[in-house]
Structure 1
Amino acid sequence: MYSSNSRQNGFRDLPRSPNGLPIFSSSIHEKKLRHAKATSWTVSIFLPIPGLRRHLRLVVPNLSLLYQFIFSQFSRRRGTLVLLFACVSIIFTVYAVAQRFGQRRSSGGSIFTAESSTLVFGRENLQKIWQWEIESGHYPSSRDIPKAIGLTVPPLNPALHPRKVAKIPSRYRPPGAAISETVGHGPKRVYLDIQARAPNVAYPPRPVPGSVADLDIIMTFCDYSTAKFVRDCLEVLRIGGGLDNGARLRRGNVDDWRYIYLEDQLVEKPVIPVTAQAAFDPIIRPSTSIDPNAGLPKKPWTEWELPLQLPPPLEHRPYHTLPSTCDPDNPRLFHMFWTGPFTDKPYLALSSFLFTQNLRLHLHEDDPDTAVCRPQFWLWINPGPAAAVPNPNALHDMFEQLKSSPWASPFLHPRFKDVIKFKMWNTTEQLDGVPELKDEWRGLKDKLFNSGGHIIPVHQDDASGSDSTTSSGDSGTATVKGDEDEMLKRQGSKSADSYDRLSVILSDMARFVLCHRFGGVYLDADTIFLRDWEELWGWKGAFAYRWSRLEKYNTAVLRMNKGSALGSFLFRTALKNGLDFHPMTVSKYTKDAHLEGLLLRLPDALFDSAWLNTESFQRDRPPQPYFTEFGDFFDTPPQNSAAPQALGFEGFFRGAYSYHFHNFWWKPFDPTRNFPDLGPQFAEGERIARLKNEPSLNATHTAQETTEKVTDDKRDLDWATVLKRTFEAYIRGERPNMYGEWLQW
């Protein structure tokens, strides 16, 4: 009789002998293990991808080898426990990693969200989009076209000056080989040396009307992907734009930093031989035996979009050929979206607009400068909660509320009527105005609030049979089942705990709608202008800016052309992807379609100079000012609090075009003077705001009768306060704007 620890052959079931050598149950077993072929610890399995003729390769552990290894080292019982423990550890590790990344995600979705392709356009449509944008002058760049687009002949580029391109002779190129360059036949460029000239060196000169920013040069000096510092980028922007007021501390040649140019004389369009005209078709049309969309991963369970019907390309017209720098195909419109009571946030955005842009307010309104194109600021107001539409009297009610608001009423002054316009937002009207959406968006009206794949459901009771939500009262409220979600009724963000998430999601969509319908630039309401945008208007392409360290878009600044092919692509793609316009999702749209070059991702140094520092990047060489978090703008740390008053507006990210302070809607810019301080002309609004902040103030006193002492003010002023008071001093007529121009009433 054998013991329980013995096998039938009489040997004990032990993995190793007392001297450490392995013990085998038989010689045959030992030979098999010693002479077995080496086996990989991993194996590959292939899973079919729905909708594609491809398989997904997954590398997984080789369970057979793992099983043999464990049971050769341990007894059967211990081996089973070890294998079970290993499996449980792997599961918990994967779960912990997924949870951690899910919490740190920036877009509101987990790291596994939107991994599948979003592409719904085939190669021929993508080629049409590239061709249309290039021929319309929307690609004044020498950057390459992705070879995946499949163009076989370089397109003619009317916005790019002629340049030498290294070409491979056709006899050495394989038939149908894709190309990546364009052939420039646009005007020659004259790069400007912009600087203040004596004796007018106290303020920088205005940009030359019709000048253009060469964003290729800016990318060379500012692109974070190539390890460029925000500090160095701002220096190039500052000196190349003449914002150093002639204080040339750099003694070397800075010609390479000139990034602003004028288009000079026209260049004749290259003559294409008659024999080659038939071949001058950049669109690949392969034979039926070849898949024309090979290599393009289509969105699963979705059909390719039908051929795009695009209008004729626009004619690229240099500014010197126009009677003024106003181009009808390139309107200079700034758009901003606002929901809820008018506060100091849009107030400061509008004030900075007056302080920086070339509005010609230093000239009498009866004698304007007709050669200059004045930009306009369109402030779009959603009069109710994001999930509601206004009542029939909403437009009248909106202007009555603006007139009674001390923060809004100054901008209704007739002096600003040609440059600031308040407009009412209506979701149904706006979506019906987009040709690519108007016939289909109603099928998704219950999923309009989609952010990064996360949908906030809004159940609407539309008894009237209309296409929008019903409304009640002055502002309108959506009928929500159970009325359980207070978030649906919010109008504006009053604190960090009562964030108006729906309005933010609605604004994600609104910016694309407004730019596609009207053209121009969209800016988030937490944005402050820091310089004239003349040369950015001159660059006719589309752009947004980088999401900090990530190669994604942040559409807090978005430039798009009216009715463009790029816009058609974005709306049709969004329609097939749940009308999701979150910037992370838009980044995937353009990446999947190889269209990132048509929506240029500019460095955030131009519009959001503090972002990298707030995420602990580039802190060894930070820009001025040095913010370690966005709250430093409102509450400047004591060790840095001498800078705002000593340096003023000129010391705040000098060179950047704007500053994005990232929300903080509930933080006042100027806590000790939380009211519009615009002088006697707007004294009534100031008095109303003062009474709201200081109930003990006698209601019969005017603002001028209120005795103030400098000792009552905060000793160290924060950056937000300094900027607000600077803009207000200009409107009061106590100082000129940043270019030395005095406001003429």
Structure 2
Amino acid sequence: MSVLPYTIERQDSNGWAKASSRYSLWAPRASESLSGARNSRFSWRISDLPRRVTRRWSSLLKIACCACAVFFLLTTLTRRWRGDDGKSGNWSIPTWESVEPSSLIYSREDLRRIWEWEIASSHYPSRRPIPAELGFKNEIINPAIPVTKNTSTMRNSSSYITETKPAGPRRVYLDLASHPPSVAYPPRPVPGSIADLDIIMDHCDFDRDKYVRDCLEVLRVGAGLDNGKRLRRENLDDWRYVFVEHESNAASLPEDTATPRKSPEDLAEPDLPLPPLPTSPYAPQEKALQLPAPLTRKPYSSSAPCDPDYPRLFHMFWTGPFTDKPYLALLSYLYTQNTGIHQETLPADAACRPQFWVWINPARGATVAQVFDQLKANSWSAPFLHHRFREVIKFQIWNTTEQLDSIEEIKNVWRQYDSTVFRGNTIRILPTPVKLATTESDGSSGPKSETDYDRVSVTMSDMARFVLCHRFGGIYLDADTLFLRDWEELWGWRGAFAYRWSRLKKYNTAVLRMSAGSALGSFIFRTAVNWGLNFHPMAIAKYLEEAASTGLLTLVPDALFDAAWLNVENYQRERPPQPFFTNFADLFMTPQEASAAPQALGFDGFFRGSFSYHFHNFWWQPFDPSRNWPDLGERFAETERAAREEAEKLPVPEKRDLDWSTVLKRTFEGYIRGEQPNMYGEWIHW
């Protein structure tokens, strides 16, 4: 069948009538009978129609072509056939990165060097496979994986290495539980203990159809948070995810038969050529990557529990007047973390105490003295300047110029984005003082609605978390986060992580862990420079996916930090966790049918097992409308008075059924007032 440009011609008893126009379409030659017309047929061949027919067919064909073009664009450019597994399923709109050009500016060799640095620094304590497209040929020693007798390296069918060679200390997994008579409260985590995220993924990974409810039970039981209320179940050995490291002789260990390995001699197939990586068409390739020497793994020691290479720093970034949102974040930190404020003096073998650094982004032109004067005058922030909290909570002043100049990867280039990214917002602290926002209305300060907040500050916050972690190390948390348990085991896991964006296999950096000066951090900063200093979590996912390096920033299940998110997006509602939120607003306005739970269950019934809870903004909604002031007792009565008087000008009657947010706030405040212990049964020592 030949393919030709065609027109339509009609044959009848009078012969062929020819048109003068031709259609620029391509179609096979064909003919078709025209029913109802004697001695007539359509013949699809090169000839013409009368002009009156031509005009009619021309209009119809133009309309048809336009319709086909629109349909093609809609179905192929704005939709794709994809299900939750990413392969098949329902129609869904692709995210922006699916049509954006590649962001990759590193060669495959440099990517291998980044991986080698991270693994050698004990930042990959996992048996997850290494992407074969990186093309590793030589075995990689991993000091964070326990040694076994079988130490050969796993390769794929083309002999590229996909696993690391274990060279680390033995792991002893703990059976943590409360024991009589101390069963009223859970035990503090063992100092130096580590969470095995591989095991947590086995029980919590959404891609494996794991439920948040079941994940939280594993997290509770494995950490001993069920405190004497454990019910009989089958063998729970595979629920143990907390371990401590012990140096040992690998020769005395059993064979590792869980992951059979092959030597290169056993492989019959030759190396397959690696496909080219999708490099950026717009940005030049980076020069040879310069990395420092890898960090040396130091085993935990009770005599020196704090490792200077991994400082236990929580970071939070805040812009504008201090409100009840960072206030609750700090109260929950004091209520859950092992800060030592429950002891008069710290014992010699105490666990490493964390610090919480609150980074205040000041008003343009404000001096440091002005910022601290405002913090002292603000009823929500003043309590944390008390000398009892001096060693565990520190207010820091954010200076964009100083911070960005401290990052080697961007210090010489970030100023070119002054007008596009920062828009003149707090680029430098000017010497001329300016008046800060007043504090007379602290109880109602901050945004009043979902759209009433500083979006430039949100962009700044996306960048600040990477700056702080890359410069100082530690864990960044958004200010709309509440701590729900001790994070000792997460500090022990030295790899970088962020949690999952609900059902999407993307990052949410509301919780971000990275080591200071890491190769991963260098990669992210240099890539972001070429993409307009874009640190949005979706952009971070794009950078790492195109570099086959998502394994270096572990994507942990959102059940650990954001256990309501799947339910809010209408997933897993047939087996929801406790409490059952269908909207993030349920924290502040608990539905009537579930309003008995907050007071009946209290803090212990709020997503028990999760490390934290992220309530996703709601800056405008008070935690405790009827007592919208810091109710911390006589020690803080002076700074409390202004906020209390302001709130009582427009009194709000107390609800008979208290919402979850109110119960949590009053629980944390009761600990500071000395009316109740914290979640581990410890009383604050003043």
TM exceeding 0.5 = yes
**Which amino acid is 2:519 matched to?**
A
Given the alignment, which residue of 118, 122, 133 partners 1:148? 133
Give the distance between the partners of 2:195 and 2:424, measured in 1 at CA: 47
Q: Secondary structure at the match of 1:128?
A: helix
Give the equivalent residue in structure 1 for 2:283. Answer: 302
* Deviation for aligned residue 1:296: 1.1
Relative distance call for 1:99 and 1:425 in structure 2 (3 A) is: farther
Give the distance between the partners of 2:63 and 2:299, measured in 1 at CA: 71
Contact 1:379-1:422 within 8 A present in 2 as well? yes
Relative distance call for 1:336 and 1:663 in structure 2 (3 A) is: same
Given the alignment of the two structures, is residue 123 of structure 1 paired with residue 77 of structure 2, yes or no? no
Given the alignment, which residue of 672, 679, 686 partners 1:731? 672
Give the distance between the partners of 2:14 and 2:303, measured in 1 at CA: 104
CA deviation string 1:234-282 (max 9, x = no partner): 0100111111112122421101000000001245799xxxxxxxxxxxx
Given the alignment of the two structures, is residue 420 of structure 1 paired with residue 355 of structure 2, yes or no? no
Give the distance between the partners of 1:637 and 1:115, measured in 2 at CA: 42
Contact 2:145-2:166 within 8 A present in 1 as well? yes
Q: Secondary structure at the match of 2:216?
A: helix
Contact 1:349-1:529 within 8 A present in 2 as well? yes
Contact 2:103-2:542 within 8 A present in 1 as well? yes
Given the alignment of the two structures, is residue 242 of structure 1 paired with residue 230 of structure 2, yes or no? no
Q: Secondary structure at the match of 1:302?
A: coil
**Which amino acid is 1:253 matched to?**
N
Relative distance call for 1:269 and 1:501 in structure 2 (3 A) is: farther
* Deviation for aligned residue 1:162: 2.0
Give the equivalent residue in structure 2 for 1:88. Answer: 66
Contact 1:238-1:654 within 8 A present in 2 as well? yes
CA deviation string 1:101-136 (max 9, x = no partner): 89xxxxx99736762100001111111111011111
Q: Secondary structure at the match of 2:521?
A: helix
1:335-350 aligned within 5 A = 335-350=315-330
Relative distance call for 1:24 and 1:666 in structure 2 (3 A) is: same
Q: Secondary structure at the match of 1:362?
A: coil
Give the distance between the partners of 1:639 and 1:622, measured in 2 at CA: 15
Give aligned-pair identity as a percent.
55
Give the equivalent residue in structure 2 for 1:180. Answer: 162
Give the distance between the partners of 2:531 and 2:646, measured in 1 at CA: 46
Contact 2:153-2:163 within 8 A present in 1 as well? no
Given the alignment, which residue of 427, 431, 442 partners 2:415? 442
Give the equivalent residue in structure 1 for 2:595. Answer: 641
TM-score between both structures, scaled by the size of structure 2:
0.85
CA deviation string 1:402-446 (max 9, x = no partner): 100111111000000000000000000000010111122122222
* Deviation for aligned residue 1:10: 2.4
Give the distance between the partners of 2:98 and 2:139, measured in 1 at CA: 37
Contact 1:122-1:293 within 8 A present in 2 as well? no
Contact 2:154-2:161 within 8 A present in 1 as well? no
Give the distance between the partners of 2:154 and 2:275, measured in 1 at CA: 26
Given the alignment, which residue of 93, 117, 123 partners 1:138? 123
Given the alignment of the two structures, is residue 474 of structure 1 paired with residue 455 of structure 2, yes or no? no
* Deviation for aligned residue 1:87: 2.9
Give the equivalent residue in structure 2 for 1:381. Answer: 360
Give the equivalent residue in structure 1 for 2:440. Answer: none
Give the distance between the partners of 2:37 and 2:675, measured in 1 at CA: 92
Given the alignment, which residue of 201, 204, 228 partners 1:222? 204
* Deviation for aligned residue 1:694: 1.8
Given the alignment of the two structures, is residue 328 of structure 1 paired with residue 308 of structure 2, yes or no? yes
Relative distance call for 1:336 and 1:124 in structure 2 (3 A) is: same
Over aligned residues, Cα RMSD in angstroms? Answer: 3.4
Given the alignment of the two structures, is residue 196 of structure 1 paired with residue 178 of structure 2, yes or no? yes
**Which amino acid is 1:549 matched to?**
R
Contact 1:185-1:269 within 8 A present in 2 as well? no
Give the distance between the partners of 2:143 and 2:424, measured in 1 at CA: 50
Give the distance between the partners of 2:41 and 2:11, measured in 1 at CA: 12
TM-score between both structures, scaled by the size of structure 1:
0.78
Give the equivalent residue in structure 1 for 2:624. Answer: 670
Give the distance between the partners of 2:453 and 2:518, measured in 1 at CA: 34
Give the equivalent residue in structure 1 for 2:382. Answer: 409
Give the distance between the partners of 2:507 and 2:39, measured in 1 at CA: 60
CA deviation string 1:660-717 (max 9, x = no partner): 00000000000000001101111122221111112389xxxxxxxxxxxxx9531010
Contact 2:12-2:40 within 8 A present in 1 as well? no
Give the equivalent residue in structure 1 for 2:683. Answer: 742
Unmatched tracts of structure 2, length 5 or more: 1-8, 19-30, 81-92, 253-270, 438-444
* Deviation for aligned residue 1:20: 8.4
Relative distance call for 1:91 and 1:673 in structure 2 (3 A) is: farther
Contact 2:194-2:489 within 8 A present in 1 as well? yes
The count of aligned residue pairs is 627
Contact 1:16-1:22 within 8 A present in 2 as well? no
**Which amino acid is 1:345 matched to?**
K
Structure 1 window deviating more from structure 2 (370-379 vs 667-676): it is 370-379
Unmatched tracts of structure 1, length 5 or more: 34-66, 103-107, 271-289, 450-457, 478-490, 698-710
Contact 1:15-1:23 within 8 A present in 2 as well? no
Give the distance between the partners of 2:349 and 2:434, measured in 1 at CA: 42
Give the equivalent residue in structure 2 for 1:680. Answer: 634
**Which amino acid is 2:479 matched to?**
A
Give the distance between the partners of 2:60 and 2:151, measured in 1 at CA: 62
Give the distance between the partners of 2:565 and 2:144, measured in 1 at CA: 32
Give the distance between the partners of 1:675 and 1:304, measured in 2 at CA: 54
**Which amino acid is 1:474 matched to?**
V
Given the alignment, which residue of 194, 208, 215 partners 1:212? 194
Give the distance between the partners of 1:656 and 1:91, measured in 2 at CA: 50
Given the alignment, which residue of 385, 397, 404 partners 1:431? 404
**Which amino acid is 2:477 matched to?**
L
**Which amino acid is 2:304 matched to?**
S
Relative distance call for 1:157 and 1:685 in structure 2 (3 A) is: same
* Deviation for aligned residue 1:493: 3.2
**Which amino acid is 1:732 matched to?**
R
Give the distance between the partners of 2:375 and 2:608, measured in 1 at CA: 33
Q: Secondary structure at the match of 1:338?
A: strand
Give the equivalent residue in structure 1 for 2:350. Answer: 371
Give the distance between the partners of 1:729 and 1:718, measured in 2 at CA: 17
Give the distance between the partners of 2:685 and 2:72, measured in 1 at CA: 65
Give the distance between the partners of 2:99 and 2:249, measured in 1 at CA: 46
Give the distance between the partners of 2:538 and 2:62, measured in 1 at CA: 39
Contact 1:492-1:503 within 8 A present in 2 as well? no
* Deviation for aligned residue 1:142: 0.5
Give the distance between the partners of 1:291 and 1:435, measured in 2 at CA: 38
Relative distance call for 1:316 and 1:268 in structure 2 (3 A) is: farther
Contact 2:12-2:39 within 8 A present in 1 as well? no
Give the distance between the partners of 2:486 and 2:609, measured in 1 at CA: 10
Give the equivalent residue in structure 2 for 1:17. Answer: 34
CA deviation string 1:420-475 (max 9, x = no partner): 000000000000010111122122222324xxxxxxxx269x9xxxx848686526
Relative distance call for 1:120 and 1:732 in structure 2 (3 A) is: same
* Deviation for aligned residue 1:185: 1.1
Q: Secondary structure at the match of 1:341?
A: coil
Contact 1:161-1:185 within 8 A present in 2 as well? yes
Relative distance call for 1:16 and 1:422 in structure 2 (3 A) is: same
Relative distance call for 1:77 and 1:674 in structure 2 (3 A) is: same
Give the equivalent residue in structure 2 for 1:719. Answer: 660
Q: Secondary structure at the match of 1:379?
A: strand
Give the distance between the partners of 2:39 and 2:546, measured in 1 at CA: 55
Give the equivalent residue in structure 2 for 1:58. Answer: none
Contact 1:360-1:368 within 8 A present in 2 as well? no
CA deviation string 1:379-399 (max 9, x = no partner): 000012xxx4x34xx210111
Q: Secondary structure at the match of 1:521?
A: strand
**Which amino acid is 1:741 matched to?**
E
Give the distance between the partners of 2:273 and 2:285, measured in 1 at CA: 12
Given the alignment, which residue of 478, 498, 501 partners 2:452? 498
**Which amino acid is 1:597 matched to?**
G
